[in-house]
Homo-oligomer: A and B are copies of this chain.
Amino acid sequence: MKLKLTFFLSLVFLFSQAQNTKDIQQIKKIFDTALSNSNSYDWLNYLSNQIGGRLSGSVQASQAVTYTEKIMNELNFQKVWKQEVMVPKWVRGTPEFAYIELSPGVTTDVPLLALGGSVATPSLGIKASVVEVQSLEALEALGKKKIQGKIVFFNRPMDPKEINTFSAYSQAVDQRSKGAAAASKYGALGVIVRSMNLKQDDHPHTGGMSYGDLSEAQMIPAAAISTNSADYLSTTLKLNPSLKFYFKQNCKTMPDVLSHNVIGEIRGSEFPEEVIVVGGHLDSWDVGDGAHDDGAGCVQSMAVLEILNKIGYKPKRTIRVVLFMNEENGLRGGTQYAKVAKEKGEKHIFALESDSGGFTPRGFSIDASESHFNQIIQWKPLFEPYFIHSFTQGGSGADIGPLKVDGMVLAGLRPDSQRYFDYHHAATDSFKAVNKRELEMGAAAMTALVYLYDTYGQLGAQIK
């Protein structure tokens, strides 16, 4: 009996060793191909430099739909289609203008960007005294008397001590997203926010904001200023509390317009009903070229099928690339994709999103049950030769979030985060800020995880 068991265990061992050797070889092929024979960097060049910023509802967003649909068709996906989705359309209008008035006639210009979704200032702009606060709570403590008729300046920096810069972002971004709604309630005329940027520079970073339940009449204009401007304003305010801030913006929210998610798939040879999604978002903010956010995620997602095809791998399951529209200011694409999938009764087992920049991949965050997480964790040694060491539980991506049902596994690519907020939502988010090898390493990491998930399937997921 004991002998038999040993023999059986040896067989299992040999089998798993053989599997492992095959996986090691396949993953080596995936990285080799990504680093020497992928078109992802050229696609990103086109998206960034020929199209540029792709705000939902813009001509550029529409061009990006056409371009990526064309690329997917050239890649010989079995099926490529556009999925209709109505998206919000906010337009920036003519460039903003702002200055600090130290005393009448003595002014310093300040680069400023309206926040996405903000209302315009009156056509002549707003000029008012400034009250600086570090938080929504501090605003509340000041109360109406000290706020009414003023411009509220939110100036809490992102915490440089956070190793994961996304944590620093999460802790600071309420100023941008909720600051205007809060300040309006105390009679503020407008809101300016220190940019969500860990670097000291002159670039304002835009981004989404919401007025919550405010009526149109209560909405006040909100804008971002650069970290350098924020420090300058703060210092100058201490010396001269009566200085005034002026800004003018004529952004506007238009009626929703028709746009599209772009989808391409290769149908599975054994379990076609089991769908694996890999994606990023096609829209971006209008300033900059959306190269890191999220052109990188889009081209990496397309590269997953490009690379699998180049290494001659035939998926057992259906692998679908989804380029979502409108992540930045509505999440309509992600919501629509999930809605249609549910209506059609599609069985999604795994979704992987890349929306944290085209930097060197460090690992994955995985939103899954303990057993499904453990299934993925056992593949970790396969990634270590590529310096991909970090597999953490919890968190995936905004666009694939709505897909989540019990038993499904969601994951997010986690690249090195140190430089991300230097570029995020700013004019600096351009093609030249993306390193070709770092982008390709990310594509390879995604391809390797999709390969493993396709090969082994999800624990207990097979419907056959």
Contact = CB atoms under 8 A, between A and B. Distances in A.
Interface of A: 31-32, 35-36, 160-161, 163, 165, 198-199, 360, 362, 385-387, 389-390, 416, 418-419, 422, 435-438, 441
A147 to B, nearest CB: 30
Nearest to A362: B387
Given A163-B387, A389-B390, 7 more contacts: A32-B161, A160-B437, A360-B360, A387-B389, A418-B437, A418-B438, A419-B435
Nearest to A414: B387
A386 B163 CA distance: 6
B418 A360 contact: yes
Nearest to A440: B160
Nearest to A162: B35
A428 to B, nearest CB: 12
A291 to B, nearest CB: 16
Contact of A437 (B198, B386, B438): B198
A416 B419 contact: no
Contacts of A36: 160-161
Given A418-B441, A441-B418, A163 B385 contact: yes
Contacts of A418: 360, 435, 437-438, 441
20 contacts: A31-B161, A31-B163, A35-B160, A36-B160, A36-B161, A160-B437, A163-B385, A163-B386, A163-B441, A199-B436, A360-B416, A360-B418, A362-B387, A387-B389, A387-B416, A389-B389, A418-B435, A418-B438, A418-B441, A422-B435
Nearest to A200: B436
Nearest to A33: B161
Contacts of A387: 163, 362, 389-390, 416
A197 B435 CA distance: 13
Interface hub of A31, A161, A385, A386 (most chain B Cβ within 10 A): A161
Contacts of A35: 160-161
Closest CB pairs A-B (n = 6): A389-B389, A418-B437, A32-B161, A35-B160, A36-B160, A418-B438
A200 to B, nearest CB: 8
Contacts of A419: 435, 437-438
A386 B165 CA distance: 12
